[in-house]
Amino acid sequence: MDVTQQIIPKIKLTIDSKENPLFEWKLDNGGLNAEIVNEEIDAFFELLITFHYFEYTYNFSEDKEFKQELEQNKKNLLNQFFSDVKMSILNDALVNLTNFFSNKKDIHLNHNPEIVKELFFDFKTFEEKINQYMSEINFQETEDLLEVVHMNRTNINLKVPKIIFPWYIYALTNTYKVLPKYSDKEINIVQERYIPLKQIRSRNAQEMELLDKSQRDFKSFIKSLKVNTIYNQSLNLYLFNETTNLYDIFNLVNNKKEAIEDENFKTLFSEFLKSGEWYTIREANFQEVSRMANINSFGVKTLLINEFESKKLFNNEEIWDIYNQIFNFCKSNLLNKIQEDFLLALKHIPEKIRLDFAIYRIFSKEEPFEDIVENVLEGELNIYAPSADNNQENYLYNAYADAYKKFYESRNKKTE
C-alpha cells in the first residue's frame, strides 16, 4: 500500500482552534518559535522527508541511527517551514503598512512621523540609495530610471520599505519604463508580467541573450544583499525567488556542477557525456524538480531539493494541496498569538496597522536564510555560455537552459 495513503487520510485540517491546536508558538531568547502539537501534522512532515527513502527495500524502521537521523532531518525541515511562515506574514504586514502610508492621505504621515521614518527612506535619501545601488550593479540606464522616480516623487518612496529596498529596486529596473509619469494613477513597482521567467522559443541568439541576462540579474541581485543592517537579506531573497525562480535554477545547476566536479564522478560523467545518456537523465530530473516552481516556501523547497529529492514527492499534487492548507493554518495561528500577546504595548499605533507594525517589529531583523545568501556570495557566481571546446562548460549551460525552460513551463502551465 502507498505510504502516503496511510497518512494523508488521517490529517484533519479543520481542528486548528484553541481547544485543538495544530501548532504552539512560544516566546524564548531566540524570538517567537513553534512546535507541532498534533500527531497527524507531525506525521505529514515526516512523510515529506521519508519520500526520499521509499524506493529502497531496506527496512529503515529497524535502524536506530536512521531514526535519529530522521528526527534531525524533520527538525531541520520544520525550522525551514516556520521560517517560511514568518517571512510570509512579514511580507503581508509590509504590504499593508505600505498601502496605509502611500494612499496620499497626508493625515497618516503627519500623525505618525516616527513610524514613517522607521519604515521608509525620505525621498532625498531614497534617490541617493537608488544611485548607489545602480552604481554597484553597473546599471546602464540610471538617469532614465531616476527621471521616472522623480516624476513620481510624491509617494514612490513610500512604496518601498527600507528592509526590502534591494528587491523593490531590482523590480524597478525591470518596470520603470511602464510606470505612469506625472499621474495620479496608483504606482505598482512590482509588475509581475515584466519580471518572471520568459518563454524561450528556440536555441538561438535570443535564448543566449535571455539566459545571459537572467544569470547576470541573479548575480547582481545577490551581490546587492551584502551585509547591510538596514536590509533583511532573507526576505529579499524570499520575494525575489517567489517571482523569478532564479535562485531555484541557480541552486539546481550548482548542485550539478558540484557533482560533475567530484573526483570520484569525473570518469563516469565523461562516459555519460559520450553516450548522451546524461542529458536525458538531467532533462527528466529538471522536469520533476520544476514542479516545485509554484511552491512559495523558499526554505522548505530549497531543503527538499538539496537533501531529499524525490520524483514521487515533487509530482504529488495532493501532498502540496495539504501542505498549503497547513501553511495557512500556521500563519493564522501565529497571527492569533501576536494579537493576544503583543498589541497591548502598541496602543499608540493606529489600530488599522497595529498588528502589522507588531509583526514588523518582531520579525524585521530575523534572518533565517542568511547562511544561504552567504554561501552563494562566497561561492562562484559563474555565467554559463555555450562552449565548443569545453564539455563541462557546455553541459552546465545546457543544464541552465533546461532548468530555465522547465521552470517556465511549470509556472505557466495553468495559464497557457
One-character DSSP codes across 339-373: HHHTSGGGTTS-HHHHHHHHHHHHHTT--TTHHHH
Percentages (nearest 5) of helix, strand, coil residues in the chain: 70, 5, 30
Total length of the chain: 416
Per-residue pLDDT of 190-217, as tens digits, reads: 887 778 888 887 667 788 999 999 999 9
pLDDT at 221 over 70: yes
Closest to 269 in 3D by CA, of 282, 250, 284, 253: 282
In this prediction, residues 31-46 reach a mean pLDDT of 88
pLDDT at 261 over 80: no
Confidence at residue 1, expressed as pLDDT on a 0 to 100 scale: 42
CA 48 – CA 154 distance, rounded (Å): 48
Confidence at residue 317, expressed as pLDDT on a 0 to 100 scale: 83
In this prediction, residues 214-234 reach a mean pLDDT of 89
pLDDT range class, residue 183, cuts 50, 70, 90: low
pLDDT at 71 over 90: no
pLDDT range class, residue 90, cuts 50, 70, 90: very high
φ, ψ of residue 27 in degrees (nearest 5): -95, 125
pLDDT range class, residue 155, cuts 50, 70, 90: confident
**H or E stretch covering 392:** helix 391-411
pLDDT at 39 over 80: yes
From first CA to last CA, the distance across the chain in angstroms is 36
Helix segments in 64-152, DSSP class H: 64-101, 106-111, 113-119, 123-136, 142-151
Confidence at residue 285, expressed as pLDDT on a 0 to 100 scale: 66
Closest to 371 in 3D by CA, of 296, 293, 299: 299
pLDDT range class, residue 415, cuts 50, 70, 90: very low
Give the distance from CA 66 to its chain's centroid: 30
More confidently predicted of 154 and 358: 358
pLDDT at 308 over 80: no
pLDDT range class, residue 120, cuts 50, 70, 90: very high
Cross-strand partners of 31? 28
Confidence at residue 278, expressed as pLDDT on a 0 to 100 scale: 58
Confidence at residue 416, expressed as pLDDT on a 0 to 100 scale: 43
pLDDT at 314 over 70: yes
pLDDT range class, residue 18, cuts 50, 70, 90: low
Distances (CA, A) of 296 to 1, 100, 328: 30, 25, 12
pLDDT at 319 over 70: yes
More confidently predicted of 49 and 250: 250
**H or E stretch covering 35:** strand 31-36
Give the best-scoring range by mean pLDDT among 5-19, 183-197, 389-403: 389-403
CB 166 within 8 A of CB 173: no
3-state secondary structure (DSSP) of residue 169: helix
In this prediction, residues 17-41 reach a mean pLDDT of 83
